[in-house]
Amino acid sequence: MEKSKSKIWKYIGWFIAFVILLNIATRINWGFDKKSEKAVEIEKPKEVNNIKLYVVAQRAVKNNIKSPSTAKFPYSNEAVFVGGMTDSIYSVKSYVDSQNSYGVLIRSNFDAQLKYVGGDVDDWNNWHVIDVIIN
């Protein structure tokens, strides 16, 4: 009877150790916590930065909603910047609060995929909007 109790406690100990190690491993690198979902610093041409990307994304979103004059965006530190799809292609994910066709303020998530074609970063004509997904 003593041997079976010690065997059970041995298995319980191994199980607890496994759960602890799994928890540590997911927090280190394998999991996705809130910090890793926030603004991700990406390689981009020197003159392109997250603020400029966000401004271009806002303009692209405003061109795709019913009432662009009512659009309210969060601060850029609440957006997620993703890059590396190919050279000079970026994805900006965030949300916008704007009025729908009934005048009701709604929040919509968006994913704007943008391509920088070169030249002055501040010039809207130097950006190509690949896609804007709003839901």
Residues 102 and 45 reside in one and the same domain: yes
Is the pTM higher than 0.75? no
Residues 23 and 54 reside in one and the same domain: no
Ordered alpha helix ranges (H), the chain: 2-25, 34-37, 50-62
Segment (H or E) for 107:
strand 105-116
Question: pLDDT confidence of 17, banded at 50, 70, 90?
Answer: confident
Residues 24 and 83 reside in one and the same domain: no
Residues 25 and 81 reside in one and the same domain: no
Spatial distance between the Cα atoms of 36 and 39, rounded to a whole number of angstroms: 8
Residues 20 and 63 reside in one and the same domain: no
In total, how many domains does the chain have? 2
Q: Which domain holds residue 19?
A: 2-31
* pLDDT tens digits, one per residue of 60-118: 999 999 999 999 999 888 888 877 566 789 999 999 999 999 999 999 999 999 999 88
Integer angstrom CA distances of residue 104 from 4, 67, 125: 66, 11, 32
Question: pLDDT confidence of 19, banded at 50, 70, 90?
Answer: confident
Q: Report residue 63 as tokens.
A: 């061109």
Pair 43, 85: CB distance under 8 Å: no
Residues 49 and 113 reside in one and the same domain: yes
* pLDDT tens digits, one per residue of 26-67: 665 444 444 444 444 445 566 788 888 899 999 999 999 999
What are the percentages of helix, strand and coil residues in the chain, rounded to 5? 40, 25, 35
Residues 27 and 51 reside in one and the same domain: no
Say what the pLDDT of residue 84 is: 56
Question: pLDDT confidence of 23, banded at 50, 70, 90?
Answer: low
Residues 66 and 97 reside in one and the same domain: yes
Residues 11 and 76 reside in one and the same domain: no
Q: Higher-confidence residue: 109 or 13? A: 109
Spatial distance between the Cα atoms of 34 and 90, rounded to a whole number of angstroms: 21
Average pLDDT, the chain: 81
